[in-house]
Amino acid sequence: MSRLPAAKRREQLLDCAAALFAERGYARATTAELARAAGVTEPIIYRHFKSKRDLFIALIERTGKQTIELWRQDLANAADPAQRLKTLIGDNPMVSQQGRDAYRVFLQAITEVDDDEIHKAWSVHIHSLQQFLAMELARAQENRRVTRHIPAELIAWLLIDIGLGYGVLSAMRVEDHNFDATGDVHVQQVITRILVGRAADAGDRDEA
């Protein structure tokens, strides 16, 4: 067993937990299995987390921070509000390489929201994503790129609702849920066109 600094060990345990929970499910996976996957003993896990529940809460919190950090990185070189929204619509963390395992765990553990602490962590996580999206939408509204007839915070919730549904169907491997009958138009393109109109088409031409 290699020795790692405490912060790196904690991150390694969270990485292993995300993969293990995605494969086995949060309820079925054990700390013994996690220890084997991480190449450590169980007492090492309990040095960093009081319980499997606390580890799960830490995973929820970390995933929210990682999602927002990914969005910030992807938006770093995008100045136009319409292009920024288009980027965010395409950055669904539920289907990204970085976030797929963690969000699949959250879906499998949906019954755990009856636990007050898990419910609180999940609620904070979702609200942080909604607030980030609402901020970007408000900026686009100020620049007259998105309708101002609907509050930015409500549009942000709409995007989250759609994104969650998209992520669930992807996790369930439902075929052809994201394209039209011709296979040429993706649901993300439709959402972008509804929100930013012709500016979305201009972005598509720039990328072609």
Among residues 92, 81, 101, which one has the least CA distance to residue 17? 101
pLDDT for 58 beyond 80 = yes
Check if the beta carbon of residue 130 is closer than 8 Å to that of residue 153: yes
| Residue 109: both structure tokens together | 């553990």
Q: Is 49 left (phi over 0), alpha (psi -120 to 50) or beta?
A: beta
pLDDT given for residue 204 in this prediction: 47
pLDDT given for residue 2 in this prediction: 62
Q: For residue range 65-80, what is the model confidence (pLDDT) as tens digits? A: 999 999 999 999 888 8
Domain at 57-207, CATH class: mainly alpha
- Enumerate the CATH 1.10.357.10 domain ranges in the chain, comma separated: 57-207
DSSP structure string for 29-70: --HHHHHHHHTS-HHHHHHH-SSHHHHHHHHHHHHHHHHHHH
What value does the mean pLDDT of the chain take? 88
Dihedral angle computed from the Cα positions of residues 63, 123, 96 and 181, in that order, rounded to the nearest 10 degrees: 180
Q: For residue range 99-151, what is the model confidence (pLDDT) as tens digits? A: 888 888 888 888 888 999 999 999 999 999 999 999 999 999 998 888 889 99
Give CATH for domain 1-49.
1.10.10.60
